[in-house]
Amino acid sequence: MQKKTDKLLEKIVKKDYNNELEEVLEKKYFDENVKSILLSILYKIETAYKDYQNVKQDVENKDEFIQNIIKDIKENCNDIKIVKLNSEESVILGNKTFLVEKNSKRIICYPIERKLLYCISKISKNEKIIKEKYYVIDKTLSDLINVGNNINTVEPMRDFNGYSWTTIPREVESIYHNLVYQNIRMLVGNKFLTHWIKNGKSIIDYFEEFQNNLDAYYGEKSRKEIVEILNRLSVLLAFKYNPKLKNVLQKEEREVKTKLNKIRNNSEFVQELTQEKKKLTREIKQIDETINNKKDLQQEYERRNEYLPLEEKIFSVKILSKLMLEEREEKLKKLENINKLLNPQNFVKYKKELENKEKYLKFIKVEDIDKKIKEYIMELQKLFLACYKIKIEKLNSKQELTKLIYEFRYYCLLPITDKRLVNEVLDLNSSIKEVQMLLIKKAHELKVIDYFSNEEEIDYKILKNIFLVRVINLEDLYLKITKEKENYYIQLFDENAFEEKIELEGLENINKKDLSFKINKKIKIFN
């Protein structure tokens, strides 16, 4: 059976990956069905990656992308179990399509390739890629970015098949996580973001670095607004998909509120700390005296056991002594914390930390989470579009411009809901138009695209269509304008005979002199 697998490897996977795949699969106890699905995943990525890279521009190279998947299988997947729909084994999954057990490095999944690839990406992630000092968001923002990256990993196989690019919103695990992740990627670059995800446990504070990058490139005001929205979104998305977290944070919110009420009455708070300090000092002294006196220790042993149920009884004086030492250590830590808080400098810091926690815990009081998420998503898109204009203004080469035209076309065609793409949202129309016009203006200035009309609005209405078509190679794009009765239509072609006919609205009374080319003539768009 192994020889059969080896031959399959030869046929499906290019020579470059053969040795590594063979080594990995030989050491895994996956059944042949699992191996076949894994090979099929790599084959489809291999086939589609060139188009994926062309469409998105700022991604890892193909070798790096595939090597990372192989590495994840090798290091993080000890057991992969494929279960059939409606089988007895599928009961394990309940209403889910997969189950990832990180501790045991185990994946249980239906035989859906994109789901299995998602699991492989998920099982390989650090749970937290943001330092614990960033209260609440250390978990929620880490989760948002990690989930977005998992969806991003599946994309080459999900949306590309070697000859076309199609996105079906219902196949995207979370439209919101994906959109936010792509926003971040386009703002700070794929290289920084993937490095952050892979090295989240390092001593480097990547969240601080992320903010510094936003600050340096888009300005302090934009950075503050973007980070604030990302933080809020991450918390609400976490609540949406993990209601238990909301319950935990509700309890913590009450505790923080109580502490803040106390701390804001400074004299009362100090008095309470002083009393607690005296109490702890007495208790520590009492533990020391008891442990060092055999008679007292025996009496304490009997006293405690008198009230404990059988299953909780302390079975020897020696064990009691050990327990009391642990209690002493705990009280010493509390005493140390109180002494720190009685230091005015530490007191101010502690108060600030509580106020910061309170700020984020306010999010849990949102009644309509879905409504608020939609509001924040829209707000983030407007901030993103404003920053993207800055990005365009800073470019200075034809190559950079072409890359941004591709990238923004990709952005326009991202799902923002299960029924709409970004470019179909009315509230974003004016902002998207500004960015598209700026890109077209730059394209004219750098002679990447010729003018199609001496009237700016007509030129825009013709050329905005390059941001709306799913042609893989925009440089191969041709257009032709035709007239039917009183209406004008634009037809778009690529070398593979891709064709799309779109009515040019608002140009009923166009003067042919305003066009810099002839009607019914096929014209190449990019120089």
DSSP label of 453: B
Nearest to 296, CA basis, from 328, 323, 325, 321: 321
CB neighbours (10 Å) of residue 202? 12
Phi-psi region of 93 (alpha: psi -120 to 50; beta: other; left: phi over 0): alpha
pLDDT the model gives residue 176: 97
pLDDT of residue 498: 62
The residue count for the chain? 527
Q: What is the pLDDT of residue 252?
A: 83
d(CA 298, CA 314): 12
> At how many degrees (to 10) do helices 15-26 and 32-56 cross?
140
Q: Could you report the per-residue pLDDT of 361-373, keeping only the tens digit for each?
A: 776 777 788 999 9
pLDDT of the residue at 387: 97
CA atoms within 13 A on the CB side of 521: 9
Query: If the chain, 527 residues long, is cut into consecutive pieces of 10 residues, what is the mean pLDDT of each piece?
Result: 49 57 79 89 92 96 92 93 86 89 93 96 94 87 96 97 92 96 98 92 91 96 96 91 83 84 79 89 93 90 84 85 92 89 81 79 79 96 97 93 97 96 96 97 94 88 92 90 81 74 71 76 89
Q: How many CB atoms lie within 10 A of CB 441?
A: 14
pLDDT reported for residue 507: 63
CB distance 173 to 239 below 8 Å:
no
CA 196/CA 204 separation, integer angstroms:
9
- Best CA proximity match to 19, nearest among 65, 62, 70: 70
CA distance 249 to 367: 15
3-class secondary-structure state, position 79: strand
CA distance 179 to 227: 15
Instruction: List the alpha helices (DSSP H) in 57-201.
Output: 62-76, 113-123, 137-159, 175-188, 190-198
Residue 132 gets which letter from DSSP? Answer: T
Measured torsion, CA atoms of residues 433, 439, 445, 448, in degrees rounded to the nearest 10: -130
